[in-house]
Amino acid sequence: MILVFGKTGQVATELQSHKDVIAIGRDQADLSVPTTCTEAIRRYKPRAVINAAAYTAVDKAESEENLATTINGEAPGAMASACADLDIPLVHISTDYVFDGTGTKPWSVTDTPNPQNAYGRSKLEGEKAIKASGSVHAILRTSWVVSAHGNNFVKTMRRLSETRDCITVVDDQIGGPTCARDIAQTCLSIAEQLIKDPSKSGIYHYSGQPNVSWCKFANVIFEQLDSKTIASPIPTTEYPTRALRPLNSRLDCARIQHNLGITRPFWRGGVEEILRDLENLNDKA
């Protein structure tokens, strides 16, 4: 059995469709109280742990950095320590926000993190705590997560297309949209590989291809919706947010392919699946 922290998030929801997975929510393990994570792992004694839970309110984290750091930093550290004690692997989902977003070169796993907002700093603390634990682990940095669940860019664009002819969208932030379904499958694959070969422990990058701007991504979504809505490009300076967003979210995914045989997914097909799922959900409503 693989124990998943998180129950309602995008990746956690996708993980629950797989057999041999038990997902637990806040009622069983409250990440704001890290000791509950340790207790859950000791209680379930799983073959592996996947942490798909996190504090993800990027702008709100600017005023709640202590809470974000407890959830994103201390709790994963507690999970990793418990995994080390039981000699089981931990797969932890992290983010491109640990980097400062400068330049145009894809970020390598060997590049030095330099987060520019509270959320990024909290996630980096989690990475540090996991590495310090001595556990067998994979830190999986990903970006621009989308699915038919929760709040994400695809669902927002779909909703806006129903009432708007033109939407302004930033065009100078570049990254790889990544479908939660692909991330879930990748987490499970990594967990199984770490069980068999702990030497594969380390940091990995995983994002969809090709890299694209938010504006271009929006227009592909509208195209797939067969909508007449158009995304009009604006610079990030015209869309201010409380927390700074990285302009460069490109991730170099060479290590995950070389070490684990996992290739970057093409996000266009994944987005088509998401839109079909959303349509089916509407039909059932």
According to DSSP, the residues that pair with 139 across neighbouring strands are: 92, 203
What are the phi and psi torsion angles at 166 (to 5°)?
A: -145, 135
Residue listed under structure tokens 């983010």:
95
Q: Model-level pTM?
A: 0.96
Predicted local distance difference test score (pLDDT) of residue 227: 97
Q: How many CB atoms lie within 10 A of CB 134?
A: 12
Reference 266, options 200, 182, 203, 201; nearest CA is 182
Q: Which residue out of 55, 97, 119, 204 is catalytically annotated?
A: 119
Per-residue pLDDT of the chain (285 residues; tens, 9 = 90+): 999 999 999 999 999 999 999 999 999 999 999 999 999 999 999 999 999 999 999 999 999 999 999 999 999 999 999 999 999 999 999 999 999 999 999 999 999 999 999 999 999 999 999 999 999 999 999 999 999 999 999 999 999 999 999 999 999 999 999 999 999 999 999 999 999 999 999 999 999 999 999 999 999 999 999 999 999 999 999 999 999 999 999 999 999 999 999 999 999 999 999 999 999 877 554
Give the Cα separation of 207 and 227 in Å (integer): 26
- What's the first-to-final CA gap in the chain, in angstroms? 33
- Distances in whole angstroms, Cα of residue 11 to Cα of each of 125, 127, 261: 21, 18, 21
CA-based Rg of the chain, rounded to a whole angstrom? 18
- Which tokens in the block code for residue 140? 């999986």
Domains, the chain, in order of start with CATH, read 2-284 (3.40.50.720)
Give the Cα separation of 276 and 282 in Å (integer): 10
Residues 6+ away with beta carbon under 8 Å from 80: 90, 92, 129, 130, 133, 135, 137
Q: Is the peptide bond prior to 210 cis by the omega test (within 30 degrees of 0)?
A: yes
Element (H, E) at 14: helix 10-15
Q: Is 210 exposed, middle or buried (0-12, 13-18, 19+ CB in 10 A)?
A: exposed
Q: Where are the alpha helices (DSSP H) in 75-152?
A: 75-86, 118-133
Predicted local distance difference test score (pLDDT) of residue 281: 78
Active site (annotated) includes residue 44: no
Predicted local distance difference test score (pLDDT) of residue 73: 98
According to DSSP, the residues that pair with 146 across neighbouring strands are: 179
- Which tokens in the block code for residue 59? 């702008």
